Structure 1
C-alpha cells in the first residue's frame, strides 16, 4: 500500500546562504529559538552573524562565532561521507518536522529525502529488550511498513534496532544523537549502512565530529517524535529514556501508543504506566493504523519555515538604558511569561525581544515550555 506523500514546497538556499545558516546555528549559544529570532530581526543569517558579537557583549559576555572556514570544512566532511545539509523551508526538509515549534534550522541528512515525504511512526523501547519485545517490535514495524508508513527510531540497541531492521524494505529513518560521523552504538554501523543502501535516511542536527553525551539524547528523542505522526513504546522501564520520548511526543501533539506487558516484567512497567496515564493501548499494528489514518495526509505547515527577508517593523525597537534595566530587574529564577514582562515593564515587544536575545546569547537566559523565561543566577 502506498500512502500519499507530502508535496515538495519551499525555497532552495544558495550555497552562500546555506553556509551562513550553518555558521549561525553552529555559533555558541545559538539554538533553534535564538536562530529564528535572529533571522526575524536582522533579515538574514549573514546579517545576524555580524550582529552576534555586539549582542552577546551587551548581554554580559563574549561568545564564539563559527567562522566561514570551519563551516566550509564541515560541509566538506559531510560531502565525503555522502551527506548534505538541508535547511528549514527547503523542499527536502522533513514535512512533518516543519510543524514543530522551533524545529532545527539545519539538518545533516544521509540517504533518500523521499523518506521524509511519507507519513511516519516512531517506534522506541528498551535497549535490553526481551525476545518477546523484539518479536512484537518486528510485528508492529512490519505491519505499519506494509501499510505505507516509514518507521523512525533512534538507532539504539534492542527495540530501536529491531524496528529499523524490520523496515529496511518498506522505509526507515534513523536519528543520531551525535554527528553523522559519530554513530552510537558502534556495533550498529552495518545497520546504518543498510538503512542508506535500502533507500532510507539517517539524520542529525548535531555537528560532524560531535560525540553524543547523555544530555544529547533527549534532543534526539524530540527529533524522533517530531518526524512522526505518532510514537509507539514497546518496552520501557519506569526510568527509561523511552518515557522521555513519549512525553516529548505528547508535548508536540503526536499520538502516543504503548504495548501492555506483564506486571512481573520491569520492562513493562513504563508502558503500563503510559496506558494508565492516557496512552493508546496497542495490541497489534491495526490499533496503530486505525488511530493514525486520519492524520496520514497532513504534511507540516509550510508557513512555519524560516524565510530570509528584511526585518519586520516593530521588531527593530532599540531599548533605552532604563528599559533594559527594568527588563533585567523583572527577571529572576522563577519562570515568567512574555506577556507578564510586557505588562510589568511597559516596554515594546521589539525592545523586550532584543534584550532577551542578548541575555540568551550571553548564556544568562533559560527558556521553558509555554514560552516562559527565567534568568540564570
Structure 2
C-alpha cells in the first residue's frame, strides 16, 4: 500500500468514521477501489444494490473539526498506509484504519511487549509488574499497557525511563481513570498515548475489546501478571494468541482469585514467566511478524456485483459466523465475487464482516 497524500489521508479518516464501515470493510474497500475517495463515491450505489439504505458518511466539516481538535491537543493522526503507521498493527487482520497518538510516535516502530493484569492487584503483583517492565525496557523493549488501575499503571510506571505506550479506549485526550492524570502526563512527555477512537470520545464498555486488540497487535508478546478468570486481560491474551503473538503468564497461589487467570493460561499452553529470562528465551525463536500481506480477494476489480448473487449469499447467512470460502462453495462462485457481495451486504446493514474471512447476519 503506497503512502497516501493529504487528500487521501483526509478521505481515509472520513471513510473510517462512516457508519457501518468497520476495520474489515475499510480494508476491503481500499483493496477494491484503490483509494478512500473512490470508495466514498461508490458507497451509495453499493448499499442500494444490496437492498439497504446508504451508509451515513460524515460531513467534511466533522472531519475538519476532528483534525482541528487533534492539532489543538498536540496529537498526531496516523492513517493506514502512512510511513509511521506501526508495521505490527498494519499486519493484523484486519488492521485498524486510523490511529491518534500523543507523544513519541517512534516508539510504535520499536519491539513492544505488553504487560497487563488485574485492576485490583496485590502488592506482590504490582511489584512484579513494575520490575518486569523495568527489565524489559532495559533490554530494549517498549512496554505496552492500557493505563488502567493496578497492573497496567505499575507496568507503565516501571517502563517510564525507557519508553512506554498507553493504549486508550476513549480518545487520546480522554484521561481515564482520573487518578492516572499525572501518569498520563508523564507518558505524553516520555512515552506515547495511542487510540483508535475520535478526539474527544469518552471510553465506553464497547471500546475496551478494541483497545485490547490494539495492545496485543502492537506487541511481540503479552504478559499476564494477575487476572481473574473473567477479565479483560484474558481477552487480550486470547487475541494475542489469535494474532500469533506469544502469551506469557506469571504463576500465582491457587488461593488467590487473581492467580486463576494466569494459572489457567499456563494450563492452556502459555509460557511460564518468572522473569526477563523466560521472555528473552521465547523471543529467540519468535517468528517474524512482517510477513507480506495476502493478496486482495477482489483481484483489483471495481465492477458491481450481480444482485442475484447478493441475495443468494444473504439467504445463506445466519447469526453464526460462516467462512467466506464455505459461502463460495455453496453458491458455486469465485471467492472474490463472494467477498465483494458480502462487502455490499455489510454496507447495506444486512451482514457483519468479521476477522478471519467470516461473515454473519
The answer to whether the 8 A contact 1:86-1:106 is kept is: yes
Question: 1:27 touches 1:64 (CA, 8 Å); kept in 2?
Answer: yes
**Counterpart contact for 1:318–1:351, Cα < 8 Å:** no
| Cα offset, 1:91, TM superposition | 2.0
How far residue 37 of structure 1 moved from its aligned partner, in angstroms, is 1.0
Q: Name which of 180, 199, 210 aligns with 1:208.
A: 199
Contact 2:343/2:353 (CA < 8 Å) preserved in 1?
no
Cα distance in structure 2, aligned partners of 1:280 and 1:355: 42
Greater Cα offset, 330-339 or 145-154: 330-339
Matched residue, 1:43: 34
Distance 1:68 1:331, change over 3 A: same
Task: Give 2:322's match in structure 1, choosing from 327, 333, 336.
Answer: 336
> Where does residue 275 of structure 2 map in the other structure?
284
Q: Which residue in 2 is equivalent to 1:263?
A: 254
What is the TM-score when the length of structure 2 is the normalising length? 0.94
Which residue of the other structure, out of 326, 339, 344, is the alignment partner of 1:353?
Answer: 339
1:368 Cα shift?
4.1
Q: CA deviation at 1:212?
A: 1.2
What is the distance in 1 between the residues matched to 2:336 and 2:8? 25
Residues 260-286 of structure 1 deviation map (CA, whole Å, 9 limit, x = unaligned): 111111111111111111111111121
Which stretch of structure 1 is more off in the superposition, 286-295 or 19-28?
A: 286-295
Counterpart of 2:235 in structure 1 is 244
Does structure 1 retain, via aligned residues, the 8 Å contact 2:117–2:152?
yes
Q: Is the 8 A contact 1:23 1:66 kept in 2?
A: yes
SS of the residue corresponding to residue 179 of structure 1 reads: coil
Asked if the contact 1:182–1:209 (Cα under 8 Å) also holds between the matched residues in 2, the reply is: yes
In the alignment, structure 1 residue 362 sits paired with structure 2 residue 352: no
Which of 122, 126, 129 is 1:134 aligned to? 126
Distance verdict in 2 for CA 1:368–1:102, change over 3 Å = closer
SS in 1 for 2:356: helix
SS at match of 2:308: helix
- CA shift in 2, pair 1:358/1:305, >3 Å: same
Question: CA 1:201–1:238 in structure 2 vs 1: closer, same or farther (change >3 Å)?
Answer: same
- Kindly state the Cα deviation for residue 14 of structure 1 after the two structures are TM-superposed: 1.9
Q: 1:321 to 1:365 in 2, by over 3 A?
A: closer
1:139·1:285 contact (CA, 8 Å) conserved in 2?
Answer: no
Cα distance between partner residues in 2 of 1:357 and 1:209: 30
CA, structure 1 residues 373+171, in 2 after alignment: closer, same or farther (shift >3 Å)? Answer: same
Q: Could you tell me how far 1:210 is from its partner in structure 2?
A: 1.5
Give, in whole Å, the separation in 1 of the partners of 2:216 and 2:310.
38
Tell me the C-alpha RMSD between the 2 structures: 2.0
User: Is the CA contact 1:141–1:167 (under 8 Å) kept in the aligned structure 2?
Assistant: yes
Q: Tell me how far 1:87 sits from its aligned partner.
A: 1.8
Name the structure 2 match of 1:300: 290
Per-residue Cα deviation, 1:138-161 (whole angstroms, up to 9, x for no partner): 111111111110000001000000
The equivalent position to 2:113 in structure 1, one of 107, 116, 121, is 121
Q: Could you tell me whether the CA contact under 8 Å between 2:116 and 2:152 is conserved in 1?
A: yes
SS in 1 for 2:322: coil
1:148 equivalent to 2:140? Answer yes
Structure 2 unaligned regions, length at least 5: none
- Asked if residue 162 in structure 1 is aligned to residue 148 in structure 2, the reply is no
Q: Which moved more, 1:48-57 or 1:159-168?
A: 48-57
Paired residues, what number? 359
Match of 1:70 in 2: 62
The Cα shift of 1:221 comes to 0.4
